[in-house]
Amino acid sequence: MAMNTVPTPRLPAYNLLVLAGMSVLWTAFGCQLGESEVVRRSPDVGSGMGGSSGLDAMGVDSTARDTALVNGTRFDSADAMDDALVAGEGEADAGRKADVADSKGLAGPDLVDALGEAGGGSKVSMTCTEAGYQFCEGFEDGASLWTVTTGQWEVSAQGGGLQTDMVFGPTTAVGSIAYVATGAWQDMTVEAKVMVTSFNQASSTNRVVLYARYQDTTHFYAVALRGDGKLGLRRNGTAFGTLANVSVAENEWHVLKVRVSGAADNVVVEGSLDGTLLVAATDTSVSMTSDVGTVGLGVYGGMMAVFDDIKVSAP
């Protein structure tokens, strides 16, 4: 019996050329599909949240943000891709809020109003892993929420092997503050792990500073760890209250804490080191521009330090 044979279709020559071209294009560009980048911007010289320089900050203010970067991510599922897109939108939103404060030079009530219009609030970070905190920062995902007044700061790896941790600090010894432009609290407690990498010299002008109710470079409360072995409080760029003797060596971690409570005419400021309350004072000067402010980190004089595990709690 004769068998019928179904002929194999033959593609015209031009179809083969089209397929070959598509293969080349996929090889050249296909690996880039699904990648997303957030542009990294160098610091722009401009005005900060107040514009004027104080004792704890020198020179012209500058800003450095949009440091988050996502490269070459492959997603195993649609849900994973959705999660990444949501995270990217959150970073962009944080950048917009920082732009609102920096571009308008806002502080105090004006800052709070502007943040409200930009969709901001007192909770400016991802969910804290510990209950009771309004803001937590470990710098594992960069420092996109932080704005720098002078010089440059960077996130770097500290330690090695399984002990590697990401920390945040200035790259050169210059008076500088890094603050979260989208924070706004009245009664607040700020704590941070601090490691002094260089005291430079035993001087009261060399300081590592932790800020609360920070509004601009001349309006804030702070606790300062000084190069002369003292712990003290600061208000609007000058020391106030009593001093305490402390023993701190280079390249060791300590926990600084500053607590601010009360209205403008009766503000109680307390400073602690490693869980011990050492200095306290009451401010009745009504010298602040507002009852609210944000969290900040600072170095002054020739001191160098790195920071980690920043936490803000508010009643």
**Both tokens of residue 181?**
């432009």
| Per-residue pLDDT tens over the stretch 179-238 | 999 989 999 999 999 999 999 888 899 999 999 999 999 999 999 999 999 999 999 989
- Give pLDDT, residue 127: 61
**Both tokens of residue 231?**
């712990």
| Per-residue pLDDT tens over the stretch 19-52 | 445 444 444 444 333 222 322 323 333 333 333 3
In DSSP terms, 193 is beta-bridged to 255, 308
Q: Report residue 3 CA to chain centroid gap.
A: 78
pLDDT of 86 > 80? The answer is no
- Give pLDDT, residue 123: 47
> Which residue has better confidence, 239 or 9?
239
Q: Please give the average per-residue pLDDT across 118-127, as a whole number.
A: 46
Which option is the CATH number for 44-313: 3.40.50.170, 3.60.15.10, 1.10.357.10, 2.60.120.560? 2.60.120.560
Q: Please give the average per-residue pLDDT across 292-307, as a whole number.
A: 96
| pTM (predicted TM-score) | 0.63
CB 50 within 8 A of CB 218: yes
